[in-house]
Structure formats: structure tokens, C-alpha cells
Structure 1
């Protein structure tokens, strides 16, 4: 039996056998009000009832994820303060929310931001504003306190930890040769076409559209990349970035992961440049809070937008206030629709064709994030030292990040480990990931993650004290084959007095895409 299959079987067998911890571990579901979102979906928020309150403002921003927060910042920078931002959940931030377990800050979703390239100049401006980036002697430098500390990442492979996530420990020459060949192929493609983040800075060239037309797995088959270790790594990258396996994302998306940044580097490449990333104990919530805090009363959380309609003199936006159980109608000059496309296409009256098309085409991957409080550091297997990002080869989960990795205090103490589990279609999960996410009890997820991580950390069941789990039913858009051609990844999407802003319009979900589209919409 291959190592990948063996590890998966071990974890599955342990869970099915009732591999519950020997002592009580507190916890439960937290972070997202699933019932509130489903009430909006099912029309149970009284959309046909007359409004209880009428209010007016110049601009309404519908949706408080990173796109909506970026739009609010851009309005403020332009001197426009007469606006409100309406957010469904009790905190803004979308996938960039953060929390704490037993007083230790941790991410509830996205946990890092790669140092942005020149195409993402809106994001660069934000980082400069926040003091994370400054020019020194004519060169841009980033505050090292916020860059990921070393060691950055490691892989549990063949019974021990190794540096980096590409399997190298004891692999054969044929595997290393395929690593080199793939690196050369990525580099050649970077010269043939422009890959950019955000994608709207790279027009749909014929080569990109041809890569978009087939799956990444089919492209690897065609190109002769058959090595199991290379394919495991590439599939892991797809599940990490897009929430779905390489058979379900386009070749454009699979290659974009590498070609839009620093390429793919085979072992022994002396010119390899590891991507620098910015990270914080609470993940991207550090950025989210600095975008949300200046809004004050203009940020209305717990407000579910149920209707957006253009009128002869402006826009009407109806929202259900979960705290007061009242329906509020906002009248505005304009509305920035920073909602996922599947929601926007339902609440916008007479939606434009581009929105209807995108809403019908884009599929979203469910995700689960579990934050595990351990009362002391875990014992370690041989090999590379504990890192920020710790991945186990061949498992369903994507590994874990350590919330205390950025701490300057070396004293061993309690920490929180954030474990990520994508549930989009892949070799591990079928098309019922969302149902599995919603139907499986908290204890089932607890047992799966404990069994999986115990392969590398047998003392985890004894040291874990609490596990808080956050569920995202529609966490991120999946860049499936043909999506780039069909939605076009336009620079701006407008219709009358409405401007649309969300990472969905790029076909996949990362901070740079959401932030840029929110900024441009404003």
C-alpha cells in the first residue's frame, strides 16, 4: 500500500473505531451563524413585509468581507463619509475573521498574505499606510516583525519531518527529475504569457484561455508529469489555494499558483526564492480589524441584505436587523454589491446578465477551520524543527499553523494550532462536502483531526483541552475548467447605480483579488 493510501486508511480507521480522546476536550462550532445564512437563502427573513424603518445615505456597501472593507476605505480616502456597510455576520471580515481560544489569538480563516507584487499596487498602498512597508535607501522593505519567522514550513513524510513542503526525503532520481522538468515548464510559460495577481491586470491571452479549457490533472497527464510525489504536492496546492483537487480546477489555475509569484523551485535550485508572507497570530484578521475599526457606526453587523433594487432616483436596499428583528430600508444614490455572486444574483432585482451568468457558473468550496488549544508544546518526531506551517503527507487536512510562532518569547507554553480542512471535490471528498460539513457533529470533526494529527503527534489527545470549529459553507470560488473564459474576469462590473465587488469575479478567492475589486468599485 502506498504511503498516501496508508495514512488515509490509518486516519479513517481510527475515526471509524471511535478514536475519541481519553480525556474531555471542550469545544463546539463557532464563528459563523449558519442558521442566519440559511434563513436568508430560504426567504425566512420577511422580504415581503413593509419596512419598519426608513433611512437614507449616499452609498450602501452590501457585504463586509475584504472587498466591502476595501470599498469603505476607498470611499473614506476620497472624502466620502456618508455611507453604511451592511454585514450578515456579527463581525466583518469574511474569510479573514479571527478569534481566540482560552485567551490565545488565532485565525478563523485566512492566515497569511504573501508580500504583494507590483500588479497589486492597491494592496501595497494599504501596507504602506499600515506601516508594514516603507522605502529605505530607494528600496521597499517590510517590517520583519510581521514577516513569517523561520522556520516557515515543514512536511511530515516517511516517519519524520523535513524542511519545505515538496517531498524530498529519500525520493528517487526519477522524482527529482520531474521536479526539475516541472520547474522548467513553469518558467517557460511565464515567458509565453503574463500571469498576474490580481488577474484583472493580465488580459485573457490565448495561451491562458487554452490552459483554462482543461483540468490541471488533464494537463499534467498530457505533459507527462506522472510522478506521485509531484502530483501529491500539486494537488495539495490546489486544495490549499482553491479548496478543490487538481482534477476539478483548471490548468490555468494550477499553474497560476506558481507562475504569478516566484515560480516553482526544484530541490537544489540555488536561485530559489521562497515567497515571503506576512502573518499574525490571528491571521488576516489583523488586517481586517484595521480596515473595520475606522468605520465606527457606519459598520452595521448582523444585517442580512434581502433586496437591492434600482429606482428612478437611486437605489433601495432592504436589510433584516438580527438584533432588533426589524426590517430597514435604506435609500441611497449608489450601492456597492460586495456579496458573493450566488447571493448577489438572488437579492438584486432584475440582475444584469453578467451577474446571472456568474451566479450560475461559479461553484464554491466548503471549508472547515479547527482551532485546537494545547496546554503545552507537542512532542516532536525526528527531523526539521517545529514551523509556522506543518503539513502531513497524504492526509485529508492541510496541516496546521501555530498561533505562537510569531511570538518573540521563546518560553514553552500553551498555544493554539489551526487545522484546515477543505471539503471541495477532490480525491478525498466527493460533491457532498457541504452536506458533510453541516450534518457531521462537532465530535466527528474532533475525532478526525485528532486521529490525523496523532500520526505525527501521538501526545495530542492528552494535551488538547479545547477545539473550536468554524464552518464555511461557501468559503471560496473554485476556478473550474472554462470559468476564466466564461466570466471573463472583468476589471470592473457595473450596472446603472450598482457596482459589483467580490473575489468571485476573479474566479478564485484570495485577499489581493477581493481588496483590489473593492477598491476599484468604490
Structure 2
């Protein structure tokens, strides 16, 4: 019976993916990070303004998109700007757990890969190193009372014929504007789940495709538009494995110091320009300008406004006059039901590697969607990170840690029962300034609202990874959107004689 369990589980274990996407050179000591990131509150706004107290540009959001835009403005010679951040930190949906002695584990976005040239360029400019994600060894699959292992090749093992079919369809769906596809109405009328249902998949393959979509988009295939999913594949060069895999894929590379270090270093180079704990409550006169941007600490006036936020967060801001109806409705309906919860278990060493295991754990049924080796490159200690389901774990982090340790022990060995530290970050409970880690676009949404996602309105310029023309929803997409927004803002505030 045990050998049958092993045989039935091997295919499941193989069908697994990797995941879930001119600079300051000195790294601030931890005691000085807050000062390097920015000034808290609204103090100093008047001094930041140009003549008459009106800035050229105000940027809302100090994540990768907003800080990239600010950095581009500064490098172009524009100093009349400010970055307003609601949180008491920079980084947006990237966040590091401090593991001590200069080591970090990511609670949010963390991976980059081939084709993601914008963020790779940013790493080089900021003197931030990268290193390979670990995938070598055997993956462990837990299904009921069965445990199976299979050698990983750094990819998925999903059906090649089905992947090819998806890739061919993706060629018809431009990633920056899926709604412009000649078959947009057809693809947006169905979910990815509907499409898979037509393929009469085995339970094993259905599990694999479902898990991959859930980790990538934040929702099961039945909740995401086929049009949206094809656009993501198109963004990866119409290569499904480039989107999903570790080896050769968008999860191939990690960022030394954790992904949040990119935002921290950009903020260091923008000393005095970043204002933390400054949520934007209201924007007035956005049509003709100068726009009046209301925060709890005062009002900022700017000729142009870059809104580097998820559309769902844009909906939390009051606009006077109201935004056009379809833009307003798009923000109200933007999917924000994929907050995700990510954990980190720290061990004295990566003991699983000594056993030939790669640290990957997948449960057919249970709270662990996918656990993976997130140890530092020098192996000073071992780290198992996981994407977990809040519905299957206690809300209390300590109790959740005990349950996860038990699961890891079943998969990796008894040593897993004794972590030296645990971290648990539930984005749904973190703060009101996140709402969602990614955006699982449902059927019917893009063909109805997609065309209002990008175009500036009045003095408002929309940014953030959701607006990227390439690699939307990833960190690379966020950086690209920041570059684009900075160019739009520079054009908007340039004298007319310069524009002619």
C-alpha cells in the first residue's frame, strides 16, 4: 500500500512550479533606516515647493513604482517633487523580515527572472546583488496520509501539449492591453477554469494547474479570466514556463538583502523628498491644476500627480470633481480579494538539503499551498518560506507556527519541529494600505474597464504594476510603470516651448 501511495503521489510532486514577481552605494545601519527612508508626517512641505508653494510633481505611493518615478525625475534634473506614503515605511508590497546580522527573508514580492530587464537594471544601478533561487533536489508532496518525493527539474512537469496550446492563444492577447485582442470578448467571457474543464484533465493534472494559477494570480482558475491569464503568458514572451518556473523562469533569481532593499536604497537617494505616514485623503482641482492633495498633515499643491497605487487603493481617495464614471467604477470593482499570507521558519541549518530534499512542500489538502527553501546564499542557516491559506491555519501566529512545524516535520524530518525563529505576515491584516498582494482579474472585467486603466486624466497620471505594459503584477512591472509615469510627468510640466 505504501508503494502505491508513493507512485500515485510522484506525478503530483513533479507537477509543481516555482513561484510566486546612478545610485546610492552606502547601506544605512539599521538604526538609521527610518531616517534614510523618509521624513515622517507633513513637516517641511512648504520648503519642498517651488515658487508659490506649488510643486511640479507629487507622487502618491513609495513602492517600487513611485520611488522609480521619483528617482527618474531627480535624474532628469527635476527637484520640485515630493513622495507621499501612507505607511511608516517604503516598499509597498515588498517587505523584509529582519533575521539579524544583515540577513532578511521576504514577506512580499521577491523573485525576478529572464526578460525582467527593468528590475535587473535597477539592481545593478543600486549596487544590489542577486543570486539563484534554490530548487535542486527532491520535492515533497503530502496527500492525505501519503508522502511522496520526486526529483525537481526546476519547472512544472505540466502537459507540454496543453502548455503549447495556451502559448499559441497568448500570441493573440497583447500583455499591455488584453482587451484589444481580436478574441477579447470570447476569452473574457470564460474563466481559466472553464477552459481547463474542456480538456478533461486527470485529477493530478487538475491539481497542478489549479495550484499554479492560485500561486501566480492569487485565485483559483475558476475565478480568473482566461483573457487575463493569456495576457500574463504573453508578457513572458508567450512562454508559459518562463512565467511560472524557477529554472529559466520568473522565479529564477533572488535579490541579495531582500526585495525591499531596492526601495530602501532609492529612498536613501531621495533624502528629504519622501514623506512617510502621510496618507492622501482627497485630491481637488485635478482637472486643470494645480491639484490640491489633502493629507492629515496639510495640503500639497502640484502641477502633476503620479498616483502609484493599486486601483483598489485609488478608490480610497476622494476626488473633487469626481472622476469619470467608468474610471470610478473600475476602481470600485477592482479585485482585491487576494491578500495572501506568507510565513518564514528559520532553522540552524538547511537540514533538508543534507537529505537530498529541495525544501519544497506541497499539500493536496491543507494550509500549505507551497513551501520552499528561502535560505541565504551562504547557508549561514536555513529558511523555509511558505504561501499558506489563512482558512486552514490558526489566526494566532504562534499556533500557526506550531502547526506548520508539524507539517514540515512530516515532509522534511523531525528537525523541522524546532525552528529558532518564525515570522508570519498576513497581508489581509497588515494595514489598510495594501488590501491585496496581486489582482486576480475575473471574467468580464478587462473588456468592460481595461481601456480606462492607463490613460492620464487631467493632471492625474496612473502608475503601479497593474498599469505596466510588460510584466504587469510583478516587481519588474512596477519599475517599468514608474519609468513611464516619470516621462509622462516631465512632459506634462515642461514649458510649452519645450514641447513644441
TM-score range with shorter-chain normalisation? 0.7 to 0.9
Per-residue deviation at 1:109?
0.7
Per-residue deviation at 1:156?
1.2
Task: Map 1:92-491; keep pairs closer than 5 Å.
Answer: 92-103=90-101, 104-116=103-115, 122-123=118-119, 125-126=121-122, 129-130=125-126, 146-148=130-132, 151=135, 155-157=139-141, 158-164=147-153, 179-190=159-170, 192-196=171-175, 199-200=176-177, 204-222=180-198, 224-261=199-236, 263-264=239-240, 277-310=252-285, 313-320=289-296, 327-349=297-319, 350-364=322-336, 365-379=338-352, 384-386=356-358, 390-394=360-364, 395-407=366-378, 413-421=380-388, 440-473=395-428, 474=435, 475-488=437-450
Per-residue deviation at 1:518?
2.4
Matched-pair contact (CA < 8 Å) for 2:326–2:452? no
| 1:20 corresponding residue in structure 2 | none
Matched-pair contact (CA < 8 Å) for 1:454–1:460? yes
Out of 458, 476, 483, the position equivalent to 1:512 is 476
Per-residue deviation at 1:147?
4.2
Matching of residue 501 in structure 1 with residue 463 in structure 2: yes
Matched-pair contact (CA < 8 Å) for 1:99–1:106? yes
**Structure 1 residues 466, 348: closer, same or farther in 2, change over 3 A?**
same
Deviations 1:443-462 (A, max 9, x none): 34323422332321242553
**Structure 1 residues 237, 53: closer, same or farther in 2, change over 3 A?**
same
Matched-pair contact (CA < 8 Å) for 2:184–2:447? no
Deviations 1:4-61 (A, max 9, x none): 9x99xxxxxxxxxxxxxxxxxxxxxxxxxxxxxxxxxxxxx9xxxxx99863433211
Matched-pair contact (CA < 8 Å) for 2:362–2:371? no
Q: How many residues end up aligned between the 2 structures?
A: 420
Matched-pair contact (CA < 8 Å) for 1:165–1:391? no
Per-residue deviation at 1:216?
0.8
Deviations 1:143-179 (A, max 9, x none): xx624155458531342242147676xxxxxxxxx81
Per-residue deviation at 1:345?
2.1
Distance 1:352 1:189 in 2: 33
- Segments of structure 1 that go 5 or more residues without pairing to the other structure are 8-44, 46-50, 133-144, 169-177, 267-271, 321-326, 424-428, 430-435
Per-residue deviation at 1:87?
1.1
Matched-pair contact (CA < 8 Å) for 1:208–1:252? yes
Distance 1:260 1:315 in 2: 34
Distance 2:248 2:44 in 1: 56
Matched-pair contact (CA < 8 Å) for 2:137–2:357? no
Per-residue deviation at 1:219?
0.5
Deviations 1:119-144 (A, max 9, x none): xx655653564468xxxxxxxxxxxx
TM-score, normalization by structure 1: 0.70
Matching of residue 71 in structure 1 with residue 50 in structure 2: no
Matched-pair contact (CA < 8 Å) for 1:110–1:284? yes
Distance 1:209 1:73 in 2: 39
- Segments of structure 2 that go 5 or more residues without pairing to the other structure are 10-40, 50-54, 142-146, 429-434, 487-500
Distance 2:108 2:124 in 1: 24
**Structure 1 residues 490, 279: closer, same or farther in 2, change over 3 A?**
farther
Matched-pair contact (CA < 8 Å) for 1:113–1:284? no
**Structure 1 residues 129, 241: closer, same or farther in 2, change over 3 A?**
same
Per-residue deviation at 1:367?
1.4
Name the SS of the counterpart of 2:438 in structure 1.
strand
| 1:86 corresponding residue in structure 2 | 84
Matched-pair contact (CA < 8 Å) for 2:232–2:472? no
Distance 1:259 1:336 in 2: 27
Matched-pair contact (CA < 8 Å) for 1:108–1:470? yes
